[in-house]
Copies of this chain bind each other. A is one copy, B any other.
Amino acid sequence: MMHTPLPEVPEWNEPKQARSRQRFALILDAAAALIAEQGIEAVTTNHIAERACVAIGSLYQFFPSKEAVVAALLDRYLRAMVTVFPTAVDESRSFAETVGGVVDGIMTFKAEHPAFSQLFGAMNAPTHHLLTQRMQGAITQRIAAMLKGYHPAMNDDQRARCALVGYGIVKGLVGMEDIEPGMLRSEITTALLGYVRAFLKREGIHDLEALE
């Protein structure tokens, strides 16, 4: 599958000086901190600016709107997130082990970036529809690529559907409270592998890897 580049949405203005590149990051950090502490609802441009020790006018120097700040933050997360997905089949690991590794990566990412799961979980509103699409598109693409590597018997449509559902499963589970992270990790893995297995069986795909 050709690597379709993500649609470039020029939502924010890249700073051109070193000084402002730092402030740009500062603003994103402040936004992340506020989101982590109080959720997206409580986040306002004024609060972000204050938290970042930056004048409100400076924020609007780079970000044309409040939405743009969120978009930039999510873009930052997305760039880091995609790296947890392997790009090639590792012959020394089974599909199950690989999926486990990806889930580990996601859980680690979540722990290191508390704002991420907040953002990820609250991206259902129509306001964030475009952002959701971006995130979902980028990640399902990676999952589909993984499936192609490990389950070549699936066709494109099946892979796309399977990837979408896998994305949904993770999205629904990763924000779960009332369950310890370690246990959550194994439940997510079990859910993903259980689904893929059931999917392959349902579709009549008998795959050595899947049936171990």
Q: Can you name 14 A-B pairs with beta carbons within 8 Å?
A: A38-B126, A39-B124, A161-B183, A165-B176, A168-B176, A169-B169, A171-B172, A187-B199, A190-B198, A191-B195, A191-B198, A194-B196, A194-B198, A194-B199
Given contact pairs A170-B172, A191-B191, enumerate 8 new A-B contacts (beta carbons under 8 Å).
Answer: A41-B126, A122-B125, A164-B179, A165-B191, A168-B176, A169-B173, A186-B202, A197-B197
Residue pair B168, A127 in contact (C-beta under 8 Å): no
Rounded to whole Å, the gap between the CB of A154 and the closest CB of chain B is 14
Query: Which residues of A, 43-75, contact B by the 8 Å Cβ criterion?
Result: none
Interface of A (DSSP majority class): helix
A172 is contacted by which of B39, B173, B194, B199 (Cβ under 8 Å)? B173
Q: How far is the CB of A182 from chain B (nearest CB, A)?
A: 12
Residue among B39, B161, B168 making CB contact with A125, cutoff 8 Å: B39
Chain multiplicity (copies): 2
Interface status of A40 (Cβ within 8 A of chain B): yes
Asked if A173 meets B178 with Cβ closer than 8 Å, knowing A191-B198, A198-B190, the reply is: no
Q: Which of A101-135 contact B (CB under 8 A)?
A: 118, 121-122, 124-127
Residues facing B in A170-212 (CB within 8 A) are: 170-173, 175-176, 178-179, 183, 186-187, 190-191, 193-199, 202
> Given A197-B198, A199-B190, do A168 and B173 touch, yes or no (CB 8 Å)?
yes
Query: Across the interface, which residues of B come within 8 angstroms of A127, CB to CB?
Result: 39, 41
- Which residues of chain B have C-beta atoms less than 8 A from A136's C-beta? 178
Question: Are B38 and A175 closer than 8 Å at their CB atoms?
Answer: no
A179 to B178, CA, bound (A): 30
Residue in contact with A190 in the complex, picked from B171, B183, B202, CB distance below 8 Å: B202
Determine the chain B residues whose CB is within 8 A of the CB of A193 once the complex forms.
Answer: 198
Q: Is the CB of B173 within 8 A of A161?
A: no
Residues of B within 8 Å of A122, CB to CB, are: 122, 124-125
